[in-house]
Amino acid sequence: MTTSTRPAHPTPSRRQCPADDGLSPELVELRRTVEEFANEVVDPKTSDNYRDHVFDYDIQSQMADLGLFGLPFPEEYGGMGGDYLALGVALEELARVDQSVAITLEAGCSLGAMPIHRFGTEEQKLRYLPDLTTGRALAGFGLTEPEAGSDAGGTKTTARLTDGHWVINGSKQFITNSGTRITSLVTTTAVTGTRPDGRREISAIIVPTDTPGFTAEPAYDKVGWNCSDTHPLSYDDVRVPEDNLLGERGRGFAQFLSILAEGRIAIAALATGAAQGCVDEAVTYARQRRSFGRPIAEYQAVSFTIARMEARAWTARQAWRAAAAKMLTGADFSREASIAKMTASDAAMDNARDATQIFGGAGFMNETRVARHYRDSKILEIGEGTTEVQLMLIARSLGLPG
């Protein structure tokens, strides 16, 4: 297949970047650094990697060298001393070019390392975080099961305490970063007993991936995110020390809900990048593509469509940054996180559809970014809490039945 239909991608000077508005000089510098990395390192490899379903260890390593996996973590554990705003800025720029690369970073930080940072003992933090925050290793977030997705309280995986060890049996599904050659652990939710009211007691346990009985099953064949690592997991009498309990026994489900609330801000930033990437691609293509003797950008139907796309991306950016700002105050930010996640994922999906329509036949070719965004963006309305879950949470925050 030739690449004659593929438009030139915008360069770092493509715009007086609206994403710089309101950022500190340090965050502007971070955004521009990641933008340059996305354009010069990630983009040239994305089409081939996407076609071949390649998890690119070289790109992951270069992200580690830039310090991206340590952005929201303290320096004492190998991090960069930043926060979720810094992580979101980086995720936006990566997702504009390649959502698979962005989700590798998002899951590595929000889902892999963050549970240990938030709930681990000092010994656990010193043991595991330096490798995770520097990107030498990745970790998974073992929550979802065949009968426990949105209803994560339906966990069936069990962990029985025997002779000072947790013996874990069960399975997980759709776990990101769980089967790479540098994956070191999966934090796993499991039923560890029964509460006095008869409900399941769910705890979180750190499971190193080299533990006998732990298996990352063959990777999924997904609709999108072709370059990210996603596996089902099985646990067959997996034995880990009692000290691998993460946080308080019986608080695993609550801990993971807290982690998911934070992660929704990061996913919203990623989705914003996807939405903005579609805008940038559509603007460039509309100026270059001619129809009936004129650039299609001169047709109001096209220019108005792109204007709506830009409005969606701008709104999504305000939403995730407002949620991140509230999170930094220490106040309850769960409602804002749900609004941001829903708004941004809707924007990504709507913009991908509109950009594909503007590209016409070229937009149906996987060599174009808009085609990849069209395939990739649907999962943004599902992962880390579906749109319906976000609506439920927002309704409850208003005192309405969810």
Catalytic residues: 384
| H or E element that contains 165 | strand 165-176
Sign of CA dihedral 155, 160, 166, 171: negative
From residue 30, give the alpha-carbon distance in Å to each of 200, 356, 390: 44, 30, 30
Closest CA to 291 of 278, 277, 306, 302: 302
CB 144 within 8 A of CB 152: yes
Dihedrals phi, psi of 73, to nearest 5 degrees: -120, 150
Per DSSP, the residues of 358-375 read HHGGGGGSTTSHHHHHHH
| Cα angle value 179/184/188 (rounded, 5°) | 80
Distance of CA 294 to the CA centre of its chain: 40
DSSP state of 9: P
Distance CA 143, CA 337 (A): 19
